[in-house]
Structure 1
Amino acid sequence: MTTITAWGHACLSFDRDDHRLVIDPGTFSDLGVLDTAEAILITHDHVDHLAVDPVAAAVAERDDLRLWGPRSVVEQVVEAGAPAARVHQVGAGDDWVAAGYSVRAIGHDHREIHADLPVPENVGYLIDDVAFHPGDALTEPGVPVELLFVPVAAPWLKLGEAIDYVRAVRPRLAVPIHDAILSEAGKGLSDRMVGGLGGAGEYRRLEVGDTLDLG
C-alpha cells in the first residue's frame, strides 16, 4: 500500500515500507517533506516546483538522498552545492527505480506561458505505472493510469483545458494540484468545473497534509 500526501501546490510524497519519494518540492510547498525524503523528482526548474537552495542542501547533507530531473534542474542544484554523483539527469523515455518505486519520464516541454517567453524543459513522472504527475504541462501519459494529478491554476492554463485533459486521460481518480494562486472560492469553482465535467471515476481534493492510499 502506498500513502500519498499533499504538501502544497504541486508537491506530493509517496510513502511505502519506510521509503519516501517526493515530487516537486517548491517554494509554495511545505519543505519539511525533505527531512525524510529518500528520492526527489523535479519536473522543471521553476521556483514553485524547485526550491533550489533547500533541495540542494538536503541532497548535500544526506548520503542516502538522490534527485532526478531534466538538465536545467541538475545544473542549478549542483551549482547550489549538491554533489553531482547524487543528482541524475533524465529525459522523456527514461526508466529507473527511485526509493523502491518504478519511475518513467514522459514528455519534454513546459506548456507555453507566452510567445515572448522561452519554453523550458518539463518532464512528467509515471509512478509504478499507476500515478502520473505532469508538472507544468498537459502531457498524456500514453497508458491507462489509475491516478492523475491535474494542474488547475497557472499562467499557462485555462480551466477548460484541465477539463479536457482529464477527459483525454480518463483516470479512475483525478486529484487537483498547482493551485497555490487560487483563493478558497477559486478552488471551489475549479473543483466544481473539473470534477463535474472532467469525467474521472472520482475527483478528490487533497489539502496540505491530507493523504490517500493507493493499493
Structure 2
Amino acid sequence: MEVTKLEHACQIVTEGGARLVLDPGELTRPVEATGVVAVVVTHEHPDHVTPEQVLRITAANPGAVVIGPEGVRAVLADAGIEVDVVTHGDHRTVGPFTLDFHGTRHNVIHASVPVVDNTGVLVGGRLFHPGDSYTVPDVPVEVLAAPVGAPWLKVGELMDYVAAVAPSRAYPVHEATLSDVGYAMHTGRLRDALGTAGELVVLRPGESMTV
C-alpha cells in the first residue's frame, strides 16, 4: 500500500490498481485520479471537501463511493452526491481497502464556532488519518497522518497527541495555514514527540511513501 500526499489534508492511498482519496478540499489541487474506488471525508469543512472536487473524482470514476459522517452527507446533498454515512466504530471494505472509523467530533476552535462531526479513518489497519481531531484509536497505529497547522491546533497538544498514538512512522499534513518557517518549527516538534521510537517522514505535495 502506498500513500501520496497532496496539498493540505488530501491524500491518495493506492493498493494495486485501486485508489482511495482522503479529504479532497479547496486547498488541494484539482484531484485527477483513475482507479478510485472510494472518497473518504473526515468532516464537512471546505478545506477537507468541496462538491466540485468530489464530482470531479466521481465523474472520472463512476463506481466510486463517497463515505463520511452525517455532516458531510448534509453538505454534499445539494450537489446530488450520495454519502455512505459512518461514525465511530463502523467498518467498511471497499475494493482492497479495509476502513475502520474512529471518533465523532471536530476539535474545538472557539466557543463561538460550532463543533461539527469528524470521524477519522484507519486504512488497511495501518494508516490513520484523524481529520481535525485528536482521536486516539483503541488499536495500534503504524503510520499517522499528523495535522501540524490549524486554527484549533496547539503545538503542545499535537505533541501529546502523537505521543499518545505512538505510531512507528508519522508524516505531517494540514499544513496550508503555516508559513515555511512555521511548518519547519511544527514538524520539528512532531519529530521531538515521536522520539527515538518513531520515524518522521516529511512528504511534499506529490510525494509518496510505502505504508
TM-score (structure 1 length as normaliser): 0.92
| Bigger shift: residues 118-127 or 57-66 | 57-66
Matches within 5 A, 1:1-215: 2-59=1-58, 62-82=61-81, 84=82, 87-199=83-195, 200-214=197-211
What is the CA–CA distance in structure 1 between the aligned matches of 2:51 and 2:165, rounded to whole Å?
31
Tell me how far 1:185 sits from its aligned partner.
Answer: 1.2
What is the CA–CA distance in structure 2 between the aligned matches of 1:148 and 1:79, rounded to whole Å?
33
Q: CA 1:33 to 1:7, structure 2 compared with 1: closer, same or farther past 3 Å?
A: farther
What secondary structure is seen at the aligned counterpart in 2 of 1:108?
coil
Tell me how far 1:183 sits from its aligned partner.
Answer: 1.3
Tell me how far 1:61 sits from its aligned partner.
Answer: 6.1
- State the aligned residue count: 210
Determine if contact 1:146/1:172 at 8 Å carries over to the other structure: yes
Q: Could you list the runs of 5+ residues in structure 2 that have no partner in the other structure?
A: none
Determine if contact 1:22/1:33 at 8 Å carries over to the other structure: no
TM-score (structure 2 length as normaliser): 0.94
What is the CA–CA distance in structure 2 between the aligned matches of 1:30 and 1:36, rounded to whole Å?
18
Q: CA 1:159 to 1:6, structure 2 compared with 1: closer, same or farther past 3 Å?
A: same
What is the CA–CA distance in structure 1 between the aligned matches of 2:112 and 2:205, rounded to whole Å?
34
What is the CA–CA distance in structure 2 between the aligned matches of 1:155 and 1:136, rounded to whole Å?
10
Tell me how far 1:160 sits from its aligned partner.
Answer: 0.8
Residue by residue, what CA displacement relative to the aligned partner does 1:54-90 show, whole Å, maximum 9, x if unpaired?
Answer: 31353356421111011121122232122x3xx3111
| Percent of pairs with identical residues | 37
Determine if contact 2:122/2:129 at 8 Å carries over to the other structure: yes
Determine if contact 2:44/2:71 at 8 Å carries over to the other structure: yes
Q: Which amino acid aligns with 2:130?
A: P
What secondary structure is seen at the aligned counterpart in 1 of 2:31?
helix
Q: Which amino acid aligns with 1:6?
A: K
Tell me how far 1:3 sits from its aligned partner.
Answer: 1.2
What is the CA–CA distance in structure 2 between the aligned matches of 1:182 and 1:112, rounded to whole Å?
19
Q: Could you list the runs of 5+ residues in structure 1 that have no partner in the other structure?
A: none
